[in-house]
A and B are shown apart, each in its own frame.
Chain A
């Protein structure tokens, strides 16, 4: 099946810093989503981005499908950005089953 690798696994930032999270995938995809899982367990949709670039406030994401990677940018980080960021992809070929990466655990200190 498709492999999804996220880096870095852990990230510690001071409030106000910028960061880039990466998601590499091993095969072509129909779908790619970025989620933020808050400390209470809720998975929050950040971006649905099988290709291209999107921005939402301090967050933006870029997926280069031909090179099989996606990047999530967090600017001016806040303590509320803490949590785990997951990338989930759906491989082309009709499986309709999303495969999650292992996540990046982010801690933002005040």
Chain B
């Protein structure tokens, strides 16, 4: 099974809401990633978890809070977002965070902040 799943597919939230994005993989991968992608731009890395520990945080605002409960699950908690945070949020996984590792992406969650 070479699949990464993400829920929900679409999310509309107000600036005062709290919501969570979920990502799951069953490939036995030990590294998971969150990316943000704006229209007509490449994905931008937000967080990297390796063996359930946060290993890379690309200076993302604190209104985004990642959580990795186990090696198969990755959540992104959202609170007090701004309209400019509207984007496609992509989750990815790879066997480990090592040089030369291949990433597999989920279908993404389209987030609209009103």
A interface residues with partner B (beta carbon < 8 Å): 30-31, 33, 35, 40-45, 48, 50, 86, 88, 90, 92, 94, 96-98, 100-103
Instruction: Tell me the dominant secondary structure on chain B's binding face.
Output: loop
* Interface size class of chain B, counting residues whose CB lies under 8 Å from the partner chain: 20 to 34
**Bound form: Cα–Cα A41–B45 in Å:** 16
Chain B hits for A43, CB < 8 A: 43, 90, 92, 105, 108
A90 x B100 contact (CB < 8 A): yes
C-beta contact mask, B38-56 vs A, less than 8 Å → 1, else 0?
0001110100100000011
A45 x B102 contact (CB < 8 A): yes
Instruction: Tell me the dominant secondary structure on chain A's binding face.
Output: strand
B interface residues with partner A (beta carbon < 8 Å): 37, 41-43, 45, 48, 55-56, 58, 88, 90, 92, 97-105, 107-108, 110
B99 x A97 contact (CB < 8 A): no
A31 x B105 contact (CB < 8 A): no
B97 x A96 contact (CB < 8 A): yes
CB distance from A85 to the nearest CB of B (A): 11
A31 x B42 contact (CB < 8 A): no
Q: A30-B100, A31-B99, A41-B88 are in contact. Are A96 and B42 (CB under 8 A)?
A: no
Top 6 A-B pairs, shortest CB-CB distance: A100-B42, A43-B105, A30-B99, A30-B100, A48-B102, A31-B100
